[in-house]
C-alpha cells in the first residue's frame, strides 16, 4: 500500500505535466443570477433543409426603444447566432413589468454573397 500511493501520485503528475494546459479549450459560464426572461429564436436556412450553420451567413441587429437593454446570452452586446439559435436577455433592472413591456425589433440581414 505504501508503494501504490507514491506511484499513483507520480503517474498523475507525469500525466498532468504532459498536457499543454488542462483547461485549454474549456469555456465555463457560471452565473448565480439566473436570467428570468430569455427570448430564443431558432434560425434555419430553408434552402439547405435547415442543416447548415448560418452564423457566418447573416448579420443580426437590434433596434427599437428598448434595444439598449438587450444582450446576448453571455451578457454582451454582440448579437450573433450560435448553432442556429439566437438567445436574447435583458438585465434585471430592465425586466418587463405589467403594463411596461420591452419593445425591440430583431433585424436579420444576409451578408454579401449569400441570398
Is the pLDDT higher at 97 or at 21? 97
Give the whole-angstrom CA distance, residue 74 versus residue 26.
15
Closest by Cα among 44, 48, 56, 49 to 84: 44
Q: What is the pLDDT of residues 10-51, one digit of tens each?
A: 887 777 776 677 677 777 777 666 678 889 999 887 777 656
Give domain limits for the chain: 34-115
Q: What is the pLDDT of residues 59-78, one digit of tens each?
A: 899 999 999 999 998 888 99
With contact defined as beta carbons under 8 Å apart, do 83 and 45 qualify? no
Amino acid at each position: 500500500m505504501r508503494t501504490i500511493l507514491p506511484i499513483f501520485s507520480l503517474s498523475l503528475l507525469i500525466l498532468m505535466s504532459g498536457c499543454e494546459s488542462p483547461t485549454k479549450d474549456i469555456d465555463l459560464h457560471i452565473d448565480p443570477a439566473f436570467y428570468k426572461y430569455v427570448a430564443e429564436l431558432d434560425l434555419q436556412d430553408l434552402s439547405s433543409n435547415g442543416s447548415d450553420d448560418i452564423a457566418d451567413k447573416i448579420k443580426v441587429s437590434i433596434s427599437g426603444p428598448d434595444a439598449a437593454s438587450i444582450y446576448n446570452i453571455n451578457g454582451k452586446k454582440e448579437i450573433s447566432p450560435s448553432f442556429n439559435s439566437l438567445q436574447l436577455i435583458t438585465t434585471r433592472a430592465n425586466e418587463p413589468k405589467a403594463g411596461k413591456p420591452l419593445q425591440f425589433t430583431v433585424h436579420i440581414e444576409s451578408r454579401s454573397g449569400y441570398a
